[in-house]
Amino acid sequence: MIFEMNDLPPEIIDEILSQIDEQPHLLSFGLASRACAHLAIPQHTQYRVIRIRTPSPALWAHLVRRSDLARNVREVRLCARDDFLAPDRFPHTLLDPVLDDAHAVTSRAQNMYQALKAMKRLRLFAWDHEMDVKAGLRVDHEMEDLVLCAVVRAPYLEHLSLGGQCAVHVQSGMGVRQIAYPVWQMSGLKSLSLLGAGWVINSNAPYVVSMLQQSPDIEFLEVPMELCGLELCHFPRLKKLRVAMVAGVSGTWSDEAMTAFLENHPTLEELHWLPIDSIRFSSTALPSLKRLRADRRVFDALEETEVVRRIECLDIFPCAFFPGDIAGMRNIDPSFLRRLRFCVVNRDTLYAIAERFTGITWLSLPKVHFIGIPIELSDWLDILSRFPNLEVFRGDVLWSAVEYNKERMHEVIWELINRCPKLQELDHCKYYQKRSAYNVIKIIREENEEGILRVRYEVRKPPPWNALDTISGIFD
């Protein structure tokens, strides 16, 4: 007897589909047959990820009305209006203009609260909280407290990101309704991003630290440099850390405290940190480091240690940095470096880097400042051909060398294709403002039916950013 899924009761099938997290998997199921499409599209495919940049009162009214669908939402991202780093995603097919628009504006806060409460499988919540007065809508602090009260109740929440105006109204741990701020109750998180002035208010810092200590299994952490007390926390599984100055409040930060925190986390693999002053590490600090975005101070401190690190991605800011130092790095195993970004170069240094770091697949030289003799186009072609595994080259140096002439650049692209057989991407000269990056020239190699290799290229938009990328999309 052949068993078919369609023989099951509809409620059982719906529950099975509810266990599938990824929208592409649901879409694949839906495309298998008309019957499968009827089961999965859109009631599952459109109810996994919500990413919006506007208040969208009708959407929240719809999610309250269809709480049976809202319960399957895994991610909610409430972004700033000008955040186009990734495409918007939200349910739209089943929205009813009549049912979902009635009183949606005036009851939006309560609808958000009820809808988020219904999302029993919510894994990620991100909010870049702005004061929004467009269309008569105001995201006030009472609404913030109400929304976060619902989020904190999500039983499977693992990833939390709060920025913008979040927590700026909180004083001594209390919200505007004079109750404990809901965020302080968060626990069991695996990734946490807190960026904004509210988190570094002196009276709130102890509550932030206490909340951090309630999530010992954190693997990704993004916090303000000005946060006091971070060195009191310990996360045995921490792999990614980004520390950024958000308020610039003098006297609240300490490079020594941050250094102590780093030395206490040998599991750390990714670090983005720009210290204020010179620092020193212990001889065995950061043994697991793989991805680093920092300035000369961190670079020098690591070079003084005894550990040879298997760093794969390196982005060094030009703070009094001499390019020859890159080729002479002692405490980086050259066989592991795959991605390199720096801003100050000369020709000899590039040749030395190509000779020592033969495994580099991704190289970026944006806004290049040349030391000594300017590098000519013929030199660039020769230098890039010395990287046998080069797949991606970022920066405008080639465009500058041809004076941004597209016809000449066309010839350069084909020359590079011949010299760099693994090359896949170059930067285009057109800047895509919405994603804060240049368009990319994608090189496509395909074999036809006769086995003949055909090569072409096309211009594409830059890829969307990963919100949990410690290095801020630099190595995309």
Give me the average pLDDT of each 10-residue run along the chain (476 residues): 64 87 88 86 94 91 94 95 88 86 74 96 91 54 91 96 90 80 95 92 91 97 92 96 78 78 96 90 94 90 92 79 66 94 81 93 78 83 96 93 95 96 96 90 90 92 72 57
Q: Which two tokens stand for residue 438?
A: 């240049």
Q: What is the pLDDT of residue 55?
A: 86
Per the rule left: phi > 0, alpha: psi between -120 and 50, beta: everything else, 135 is: left
Residues 6+ apart with CB under 8 A from 147: 109, 112, 113, 116, 127
Query: Does residue 473 sit in helix, strand or coil?
Result: coil
Q: Which residue in 176, 234, 166, 245 sits closest to 198, CA to CA? A: 166
In a domain, 409, yes or no: yes
Q: What's the pLDDT score for residue 201? A: 87
**Half-sphere exposure (Cβ direction) of 119: Cα atoms closer than 13 Å:** 30
Beta-ladder partners of 446: 454
Q: Extract the runs of DSSP E, i.e. beta strands, from 351-436.
A: 362-364, 369-370, 392-394, 425-432
Alpha helices, H only, 264-403: 296-303, 324-327, 347-356, 377-385, 397-401
pLDDT score, position 237: 97
Residue 79 forms part of a structural domain = no
Domain holding 463, by residue range, is 344-476
The span from the CA of 381 to the CA of 377, in Å, is: 6
Task: Say which residue the tokens 């939006």 belong to.
Answer: 108
Q: How far is CA 209 from CA 216, 227, 233, 375, in A?
A: 12, 9, 7, 50
What is the structure's pLDDT at 394? 94
User: Number of structural domains, the chain?
Assistant: 1
Instruction: State how far the alpha carbon of 95 is from the alpha carbons of 57, 65, 98, 440, in Å.
Output: 12, 10, 9, 36
Tell me how far apart the terminal alpha carbons of the chain are, to the nearest angstrom: 50
- Judged by phi (left if over 0) then psi (alpha if -120 to 50, else beta), residue 19 lies in alpha
Q: Residue 463's pLDDT is what? A: 87
Within 13 Å and on the Cβ side, how many CA atoms surround 181?
25
DSSP conformation letters of 142-203: HHHHHHHHHHTT-TT--EEEEEETTTTT-BTTB-TTSSB-GGGG--S-SEEEE-SGGGG-TT
Is 427 a domain residue? yes
* Whole-number pLDDT of residue 451: 82
Locus of tokens 């496509």: 444
Q: Output the six-digit token pair for 181.
A: 């701020």
If you ran DSSP here, which 8-state letter would residue 246 be given? S
Q: Pick the closest to residue 286 from 323, 238, 318 (CA basis).
A: 238
What is the residue type of 200? V
- The pLDDT value given to residue 3: 46
Is residue 361 a part of any domain in this protein?
yes
Domain contains 350: yes
Structural domain includes residue 454: yes
pLDDT of residue 1: 36
